[in-house]
Structure 1
Amino acid sequence: MKRKTNHPDCLHNYRRKKIYRIMKLLSVFLFCGSMVISAAGYAQNKRVTIQESTISIQELFEQIENSADCRFAYSNSQLNPQQIVSVNVKDSDVEEVLKQVLDKNLTYKVIENYYVIVDKTQSDVVAQVQQHVVEGKVTDHMGEPLPGVNVYEQENPTSGVITGIDGSFSISVSSENASLTFSFVGFESQVVNVAGRTNFNITMVEEATGLDEVVVVAYGTQKKVNVTGSVSAVTSDKIEERPVQNVSQALQGIVPGLNVTSSGGGELNNPLKINIRGAGTIGDGSNSGPLILIDGMEGDMNSLNPQDIESISVLKDAASSAIYGSRAPFGVILITTKRGKEGRMQINYNNNFRWSDPLLKPNMLDSYTFAKYWNDARANAGQNPAFTDEVLERILAYQKGEIDYGTVANTNGDRWQQYTGSHANTDWFEEHYKSWTPSQEHALSMNGGSEKIQYYLSTNYLNQNGLLRHANDSFDRFTVTANVTAKLADFASIRYNTKFIRETYEKATHQFGLFYHNIARRWPTNPVYDPNGFYADGGEILQLREGGRNISEKDQNYQQFRLDIEPIKGWKLIGELNYRTDTYFSSSNYLPAYAHDVAGNPYAVGVGWLSPGSTQASEYASKTTYMSPNLYTQFTKEFEGGHNLTALAGFQSEENKTRNLGGYRNDLISPDLPTINTASGEDKITSGGYGHWATAGFFGRINYNYQEKYLVELNARYDGTSRFLREERWNLFPSLSVGWNIARENFWQPLEDKINTFKLRASWGELGNQNTNNWYPFYTTMPVGTANGSWMINGMRPNTASSPGLVSSLLTWETVRSWNIGLDAGMFDNRLTLVFDYFQRFTEDMVGPAPELPATLGTSVPKINNADMKSYGFELELSWRDKIGQVSYGVRGILADDQQEVTCYPNENGRVDMWYAGRMGGEIWGYTTHGIAKSDDEMNNWLANHDQSVMGSNWAAGDIMYEDLNNDGEINSGSGVLGDTGDYSIIGNNTPRYKFSIDLDAAWKGIDFRMLWQGVGKRDYALGGPYFWGANGNMWQAAGFKEHMDYFRPEGHELGANVDGYYPRPIMSWESNKNTKTQTRYLQNAAYIRLKNIQVGYTIPQTFTKKYGVQKLRFYVSGENLLTFTDMTKIFDPETIDGGWSDGKIYPLSKTISAGCSITF
């Protein structure tokens, strides 16, 4: 049942999910309690039995609501909820109860299932003036009915009604020329002239609140108009109903300054990399990821059910995150999950059925073109053809369908030929990747409660299937969440949150980095099947299907308790206890995979790194426990004259413990039971240990504002960590931010109708970074090896120990200082909003390379804090929301940029192959290309004045001509130090610049539409390896794609002349290195724009769904990654070039089409 919330002079009854629609029934008496509610029909068959001699009005109404499916609205000025009454009814209707308890001056009106208590005298007044009846319906911009809208006559405010559940209303006005006012919280009020009409359809427009919304910040919330730091907020509608596997994917492109990259491509268990405002450190062992807090506790947001998320706040500058101290030097992501709301139970079910296809697959050459390409590359290297004329004839015959088998027996007649002896025509990317793989996700939630207790319960199941045809990879996630809030007393409440998450990832053991490298190296002449119908050797299929499985299972258990006490108004005491356990278990087995010879007899092939026929079972387990108690207090006071003060102080500690153990055995007794216990090999322990770290901190914050015009915020945290020596363990991290809302000044009044908000912000802060990979950097440790001695004792290798490395007693925090200036503006009633930030961040005392000491030291030199770096950039966000007729629409664009510059680094010689002071992050050093020689004469003439002997020899037509930048007649990189780099120079930068997105949405009569474009405006990239260069170098480390055929070929070439080809002539030997140097000609433009998401939905009108007890029913279709525009060569995806085995050897991202529905009861 929906329960009421009493406030002085008004009662808010029904709260809707959407923030602006938080009530179905508004305050009845808006104007000093005098507004009258007219009656609407309601069934009189609700029966109740109540026998109470002493019961308060409030308790009585609650009992009736729980048993009769109705609700009450009244004003405290008319009816005291604590008034004691006596009731004795049995199987009576509600009206009978009201007759017993209501004062003689009170009566009631019935609107749908609402009983609205009104004064009899006011009811009579209304009756006297009712003359002209007007009817109609009120809806929002999506055509959804709006219940609880106040409709009243402007000239006679006491003549008013409230719209029903279906948004309908009927009101009697004093004359045909009356004016009606429609008002509703979160919507702009409208005034309509009746002008003799009797029927109206009213569409209400949401208030463009813009910068006036409330956002979550550290340890609380603030009105965005009062925020002085750099904070971006994301609401749940931006991430719900997207066909993505995790929250990180949904955040890409919607928060300025939040960078989300995929290091593992589209692999199902791929951890996305996230940073805020770019890389923050290059310190040895450090990382620059943000602190991620879920309801105040550190956690993995990618494991969350996206449907459980209420909002996400991204704290980007030091002023916003300083209160979290050493755990948040590079920003914070605050995730707030949904909680129960007072009212009757709401049940929501969401589903999503999706179909995924590889976003990009290289186009392999057909086998005949491939063979001719290979022969040409070998000829350029002075070698014999790889494919004989006889094989070439077989290849053509196979392609024409004259023969239906892809290979023949070898000269010995026992094995099938592969590579240079087979003649199939296989596209291995098409063979290994499936098309439109189905997956599904389901979510169910319940929320509701009374004034005393509210609850939110949910469960979610995701089944995501991979793209690999023969590996059958899959990812399953199951989550259960319960959030309960209970009011213990008027001054105290308790909150309990719990989550259980299980993630299961299964794949072929052979599915690891080398596999993606191997796909391109499998020649198209190799067949999928041998002539006997068995899977053929030489294509990775056998290893994937038969070579064993890897199954990993991760359980996460969150337990969170919170107690709020407010002894006096404005003073709160909060205690929190957060506890989380992460349990991980992984089992892998390598099983024998068998190809078949000509006679059909099996023979073993190698799987992974093991030799053919070898077997192995391995297991790894770990458990991590995390506990964090927080105690803090907050005081808020509004003083006379517009002075507002909020003070916060508290203590937090963290303790993290982890244990792990891993091992394996070879030689399985039975492949049907692949466990360590069923293997007969020697025990091998691969890992095992215990780790522990802890932090403690005292923190405080003071917020002051004067009339929301002048804003000041001070933060400080005194933090300690276990990762440093006692003398270096504690540090103070302060921050200061100020704001000036100029639009609140008197002199701004001439502009206020055009520019409603104009706020300047500035902040400074200092933080420390203790996020090192080494938890004990100050301990002297002695490396120990198990059975790894190079000698034998009693027939066995002994364990060994080597000299411990030295540690520095001065090793301490990295210090992160940042500045931020910003502007928040809202124009034209906040329909147009602008947010701009410029920042500088200085990371000092990074851990760099150890100083050079004589080799006689006998051990490693300790690393010290000796490097500094500077980051800087900007963020711009522009939004426009408006309505044209019945179409509401929005446009939002973001643009962000960040750069990093090393300002101090121990590189005395100035070597350019390492960091040095003044080096920009992402610098690409290379040679400047003059062009490709179109003839031997042109090449010889070039060499006469440009000695390229350092680069290689045997120069000829089709080879690269390099520019002589220093005009010394030789092409080289000098000594490779600053000031002497010869013809080697900075030719580009691979840092993604000008990251942008465009978010469009529109709605009309229940139809909603959204389109999100995301991209990078500027980026250079130097690609390499076989995916880019094709048939160069070792023939077993080469590839053949259609793009590779655009290479130099002289006149008269059997494949056709191509003197203006993109690539140099292919050379199947290491001599090709002379042409494949990093150089300007092959520097890629990695900028791109991608249609990240497009979605169309339709919400069924409530007038239809309410007949079946459905509050909301929405259907939608969605697409992810459907279009990409880039100048980069089509072999590569600009989003994944950094990951995998580098240079495109990676599990591809998916383009996804999905459909689903959301239904609320």
Structure 2
Amino acid sequence: MKIKLYTNWPIMKYWVNKTFMVMRMTIIIMLLSVTQLLAVESYSQNTRISLNVDNQSVKEVLDKIQNQSDFFFMFNSKIVDVERKVNIKAGNEKISFVLGKLFAGTDIAYTVIDKQIVLFSTHSIQQQQQKKKLTGRVTDDKGIPLPGASVVIQGSTEGVITTVDGTFTINVPENAKTLSVSFIGMKKQNVDIGDRVSFEIVLEPLIVGLNDVVVIGYGTQKKANLTGAVGGIDPNVIKNRPVSNIGLALQGEIPGLTVSISSGRSTATPTLNIRGFTSLNGGSPLIIIDGIPSDADAFARLSVNDVESISTLMDAASAAIYGARAAYGVILVTTKKGEGTGIKVTYNAHFDFRRPNNIPKFMTDQDTALMLRVQGTGTWYSLADIYGSNDLDYLHKVTKGLAPMVRLNPDNNKYWQYAGRTNWFEEACNNYGISQRHDVAVSGTSGKASYYFSAGYYDQDGIFKYGNDVLGRYSLRGKVDIQAADWLTFSNNTSYSLDNYNQPSQGINMNSLFSTSTLDVPKNPDGTWTSSGASVLGSLQEGGRSISNTGAFNTIFTMKGEFFKKLLTVTGRASFSRTSYDYRTYSVPIYYETGPNLPLGVLNPTTSAEHDASSTNQNVYDVFADVDKSFNKHHFHYLLGYNQDYWYSDSFSAYRQNLISTSVPSIQLGTGVPTVGEDIKDYATRSVFTRFSYDYDQKYLFEMNGRDDGTSRFPKNDRYGFFPSVSLGWNIAREKFFTPFTQYLNVLKPRFSYGNLGNQDVGYYSYLSTMGNGKTSSLLNGPTYDQQLSIYAPGLVSGSLTWEKVRTTNYGLDLAALNNRLSATFEYYQRATTDILTKSKTLPSVLGTTEPQANAAASITKGWELTLTWHDKFKLSNSDFKYNVRFAISDSRAWITSYDNPDGKLSDYFKGYEIGTIYGFVSKGLFQTPAELANHANQSSFWSYPGYTVPGPGDIKFEDLNGDGVIKAGTTIKDMEDTKIIGNSRIRYPASVRVDLEWKGFDLSAFFQGVLKRDYYPTDNYFWNIYQSPWTNIQQYVFDNMWTPTNTGAYMPKIKGYAASYWSGAEMLQYNTRYLQNASYVRLKNLTMGYTLPNSLTKRLKIQTVRVYFSGENLLTWTGIKNPNLDPETLGADYPMQRTYVVGLNINF
């Protein structure tokens, strides 16, 4: 059956045409920018200098040139006499004219590379003739050439700089012994010359630790000067991870950031959480991509190869600049831009092979399965003796291969009879799924312009043989920055992505694979579906398709002006985003046969088609000004800005049954009554924000942030709120009195912050009293039985709804020791949330309506985070062996501090309740004898089937905590009866360990991630199997571990149908200590081995670097869960987690 996607519907044509109109305009602008980029003159040729100097030193002249331009001088003061007094006048002259006059009559020459000028000494021809020529190449530790690196003969006055490809040629005296090689941001290296004439020199980055620059709200800042809690990760660490979503790659990498996933499906979006429980209404971190608020789906579609940096703002001090939407943290993402010299091309590819994890093993032996089914014969809860003696003989013959698995039923030969041994998961699924990713990027600078263009493609096949699901993702990104004048820069950043997901319209129900009897078979001898085969496999292959397309377009225009010698910077930014979603699905009947001459049965007998379409538009405008001033040891920075954001969403859905044809499954071909719906919503915010920071000699640090937010989500009189924060820091290691200790302790910086934030994520129109409409549930109007149109009475609303308020206090400590080889960061915080939007106080029932929402609850969250890092190197076979070990762990707990539940009902929140608390019974094991049962408290209120309450040997035994002789569940905190607190479902102590090794081009990285404490009580078929669904297949684990009179020490109780059903009172779903699972786990999340080809080889190929690597994801898992069929992350998902094996390639040209 061919699947076709038709795109000629009016709604789809509208958004496609509109989207591509905006894209065409943006592409035209970008092409014009690139045209200008390629034609522009270099900075050194276009910049003019004016000087009027009398009797001043060369150094003073060079400083004046740097102050009125972007030129940067590099020289050796032992070579260049910078104290020499000169007189020079120049009026709007090129730099070549000025330097020619400045060094006239000397042996000083210069080389200009864009904005960098290197001064060096020349010698006579006679001297040159006595020297030998050396050549070489300078790269970083990843093999990338370093243009502009300084190569100087140690002890002499001669030096050169490397060219664009990192190469150099230098003439040295015959007696020269050492070359000194240096580059900004790299460790200086001295290289012995000896008899060599060719060199491959690798410079290592400086370990600057807390002096790294990190991205913060509306700017950047050195780590050394940070006073708030800011986390981050180098994207290079995760760029080769085989995940469909960048959020998954962050799991365990940043302490305090919890990433959880409930499904292994390629389109599943992980849940991101910063610092634990947020609000009763939930609360996720604000995601900012290139300065623009985005959502988790936009983050998921982002290619990791386009990412330059990822930062997390954890506390109120660092997040306050974003105000109302940053109450529960911020994730800042900055994408790459063009930099360096020349053109750089990168290509990244990987191919993945994925196998499902935690697939249950089932009983497939006919005799064993049958005996399990009939072992309870004679008791009402048995699975019933559905096979007679003739059937048993038949099953024995099938087991021995003496009879077919399908025959005509001898008792009624109209019907088929089955005696299969079908593993439905193996029947439905392939051994592995395949995916691939390709990313290519072109970047560089040319004169006054820089550019970055990238394209990406990701394709992932699902794991099913029948009606497989397939994800295709395409992405484009382009950035252009143009220096229109010395003080003015224009930028455009445009991206587009398209996700196409094609899957069976009946859905992929893993539970059906685990619950269909192994005695059934997929198809009859004549090739028709059996009833089970149609339900499990036919629905996937023939039941219809669902196809969704998500297109996301975003363009950002930025203009930045620098004034008063860069004292003042003013930035204006406008962003326009549109996300369009189109979903089409149709359902058709699936036919099956129960006997060779019987009419065909049918599943999904009613054909139907559905079309959903939506579009979301967001326009964001920012204007902000920075003032940055330093004098002596004082440094001030002030930021003032304005933000405006408008968000609009429109969705439409249509559904119709009884299609006259399924060859083109369209709603128009339906004859049933159409169902149509539409949903429109919007909101707007306006904000003024400010930041003031000060530091003295980078020792004493102070920062204040504030944001005045207004939102349309609240009544007019309560729309605005001001949210301030303050933070302090002290770099103790920079104090003079600390100097004796710096040889051991290089950094010691305590920090403190306090701030208020607001939360506006409480619904779009919660303050309005609205009336719904629909059809009545009663049949009216006599014999016509019409369901009449009705308007629903509005509910009560509060006229004073306002912000949820979040106060955060944070204490932090940064330290580095042993020459910065050991570093650590520790955070402790308290986050109090008040005015939580929830139900108001209980109203009299005679009012006839429910309570309105009100700001009527409060909570507090307490937690901590710790990161430890050790990095070092040693010599192994005359080569550096580098290693890095990083350990991260965090924890948080939360309590309700105010809530209207005076009786303390356990079914609701109450004051003092700890979020995630599990109440349950204490189990004393399983009953073993009737005598033990007779002497126990009355436990008859629980049953395995409605009406049956008699426990027996092999059933669970609960402890009578209050001693009243009756086992009962508590209802209030004051009357717990026989229940107590037995666990907590919240994630505790998420932790990770990363180990990175490098040696002679080889690299190895191992990443372990886990949760060290979590309780979970199972409620579904993945765990309970036949106890929940008695007509299901049987897990090998359940069979091996169930109680029998000869296996009294078993973990599982005796077989009882429906003992774990969802009916109220089912005994196995009474939470208890015996079956409460320890859901902690440690997982080898990723193992990567790579090799970078030697420079000597890639240089001949005219390639900068080539790296090949092999990687594995979710390779090993250790968990406390008893049943091996449960994955500790998803805890029973609709789509299994997968173990992934990858081969990849990185090339830089």
TM-score under structure 2 length normalisation = 0.87
SS at match of 2:725: strand
1:996 alignment partner AA = A
Look up the match of 1:1041. Answer: 1035
Look up the match of 1:707. Answer: 697
Say whether the 8 Å CA contact 1:226–1:708 is kept in structure 2: yes
Pairwise CA distance, 1:224: 1.0
Deviations 1:756-815 (A, max 9, x none): 21111111111111112x310011111211465532475532111121101011221111
Match of 1:1155 among 1138, 1143, 1147: 1143
Does structure 1 residue 717 correspond to structure 2 residue 707? yes
Say whether the 8 Å CA contact 1:142–1:1005 is kept in structure 2: no
SS at match of 2:863: strand
Distance in 1, Cα, partners of 2:348 & 2:797: 55
Distance in 2, Cα, partners of 1:120 & 1:550: 69
Look up the match of 2:312. Answer: 314
> Any residues of structure 2 matched to 1:199-214 within 5 Å, and which?
204-214=203-213
Does structure 1 residue 961 correspond to structure 2 residue 957? yes
SS at match of 1:467: coil
SS at match of 1:78: helix
Does structure 1 residue 394 correspond to structure 2 residue 383? no
> Any residues of structure 2 matched to 1:183-194 within 5 Å, and which?
183-191=182-190
Look up the match of 2:982. Answer: 987
CA separation of 1:576/1:160 partners in 2, compared to 1, >3 Å: closer, same or farther?
A: closer
Pairwise CA distance, 1:625: 0.8
Match of 2:273 among 272, 275, 296: 275
CA separation of 1:681/1:644 partners in 2, compared to 1, >3 Å: closer, same or farther?
A: same
Does structure 1 residue 996 correspond to structure 2 residue 997? no
Does structure 1 residue 627 correspond to structure 2 residue 626? no
Deviations 1:486-536 (A, max 9, x none): 111111111111111111111101115xx2332222111110221223332
> Any residues of structure 2 matched to 1:155-234 within 5 Å, and which?
155-158=155-158, 162=162, 165=165, 172-173=172-173, 175=175, 178-191=177-190, 204-234=203-233
Does structure 1 residue 673 correspond to structure 2 residue 672? no
Distance in 1, Cα, partners of 2:41 & 2:231: 34
CA separation of 1:56/1:727 partners in 2, compared to 1, >3 Å: closer, same or farther?
A: closer
SS at match of 2:1098: helix
Look up the match of 1:288. Answer: 283
Look up the match of 1:344. Answer: 342
SS at match of 1:1081: coil
Say whether the 8 Å CA contact 2:107–2:122 is kept in structure 1: no
Identity %: 33
Deviations 1:1060-1103 (A, max 9, x none): 11111111255983355211111111111111111112222232
Distance in 1, Cα, partners of 2:387 & 2:251: 48
Distance in 2, Cα, partners of 1:1103 & 1:5: 33
Does structure 1 residue 152 correspond to structure 2 residue 152? yes
Distance in 2, Cα, partners of 1:697 & 1:120: 53
Deviations 1:268-306 (A, max 9, x none): 221211110112011xxx331011111011222101122
Pairwise CA distance, 1:79: 4.5
Pairwise CA distance, 1:582: 1.1
Distance in 2, Cα, partners of 1:382 & 1:705: 76
CA separation of 1:117/1:574 partners in 2, compared to 1, >3 Å: closer, same or farther?
A: closer
Match of 1:801 among 765, 779, 791: 791
Does structure 1 residue 1126 correspond to structure 2 residue 1119? yes
Does structure 1 residue 588 correspond to structure 2 residue 579? no
Look up the match of 1:526. Answer: 520
Look up the match of 1:784. Answer: 773
1:1105 alignment partner AA = T
Say whether the 8 Å CA contact 1:472–1:508 is kept in structure 2: yes
Match of 1:761 among 742, 745, 751: 751
Look up the match of 2:302. Answer: 304
Say whether the 8 Å CA contact 1:182–1:191 is kept in structure 2: yes
Does structure 1 residue 1059 correspond to structure 2 residue 1055? no
1:546 alignment partner AA = E
Distance in 2, Cα, partners of 1:120 & 1:671: 80
Look up the match of 1:259. Answer: 258
Distance in 1, Cα, partners of 2:692 & 2:1006: 41
> Any residues of structure 2 matched to 1:488-637 within 5 Å, and which?
488-512=484-508, 515-539=509-533, 540-568=536-564, 569-599=566-596, 603-607=600-604, 613-637=605-629
CA separation of 1:824/1:392 partners in 2, compared to 1, >3 Å: closer, same or farther?
A: farther
Worse-superposed segment, 463-472 or 150-159: 150-159
Distance in 1, Cα, partners of 2:597 & 2:331: 59
Pairwise CA distance, 1:215: 0.5
Unaligned runs of 5+ in 1: 11-24, 37-54, 59-73, 82-101, 608-612, 1052-1056, 1139-1143
Look up the match of 2:3. Answer: none
2:1117 alignment partner AA = T
Pairwise CA distance, 1:821: 0.7
Worse-superposed segment, 758-767 or 1106-1115: 1106-1115
Distance in 1, Cα, partners of 2:682 & 2:780: 36
Distance in 2, Cα, partners of 1:1134 & 1:77: 71
Distance in 1, Cα, partners of 2:126 & 2:372: 93
SS at match of 2:247: helix
Pairwise CA distance, 1:468: 2.3
Pairwise CA distance, 1:334: 0.8
Does structure 1 residue 654 correspond to structure 2 residue 645? yes
Say whether the 8 Å CA contact 2:511–2:1021 is kept in structure 1: no
Say whether the 8 Å CA contact 1:788–1:799 is kept in structure 2: no
Look up the match of 1:16. Answer: none
Pairwise CA distance, 1:5: 6.0
Worse-superposed segment, 930-939 or 542-551: 930-939
SS at match of 1:1031: helix
Distance in 2, Cα, partners of 1:723 & 1:378: 63
What is the RMSD of the two structures over their aligned residues, measured on CA atoms? Answer: 3.2
Deviations 1:721-764 (A, max 9, x none): 11111111111111111111111111110111222211111111
CA separation of 1:326/1:80 partners in 2, compared to 1, >3 Å: closer, same or farther?
A: farther
> Any residues of structure 2 matched to 1:705-1104 within 5 Å, and which?
705-772=695-762, 774-786=763-775, 788-792=777-781, 796-885=786-875, 886-941=880-935, 943=936, 946-952=937-943, 953-974=949-970, 976-1033=971-1028, 1035-1036=1030-1031, 1038-1051=1032-1045, 1057-1069=1046-1058, 1073-1104=1066-1097
Say whether the 8 Å CA contact 1:1026–1:1039 is kept in structure 2: no
Pairwise CA distance, 1:1155: 1.2
Unaligned runs of 5+ in 2: 1-37, 50-57, 60-70, 83-90, 944-948
Deviations 1:381-418 (A, max 9, x none): 4543244444344334334332343454485444434x
Distance in 2, Cα, partners of 1:797 & 1:1059: 59
SS at match of 1:401: coil
SS at match of 1:319: helix
Pairwise CA distance, 1:122: 2.6
1:261 alignment partner AA = S
Say whether the 8 Å CA contact 1:377–1:1068 is kept in structure 2: no
CA separation of 1:596/1:144 partners in 2, compared to 1, >3 Å: closer, same or farther?
A: same
2:1011 alignment partner AA = V
SS at match of 1:448: strand
1:1146 alignment partner AA = D
CA separation of 1:3/1:156 partners in 2, compared to 1, >3 Å: closer, same or farther?
A: farther
Deviations 1:671-720 (A, max 9, x none): 111110111111111x3121111111111110111111111110111111
CA separation of 1:233/1:597 partners in 2, compared to 1, >3 Å: closer, same or farther?
A: same
SS at match of 1:127: helix
Distance in 2, Cα, partners of 1:126 & 1:387: 109
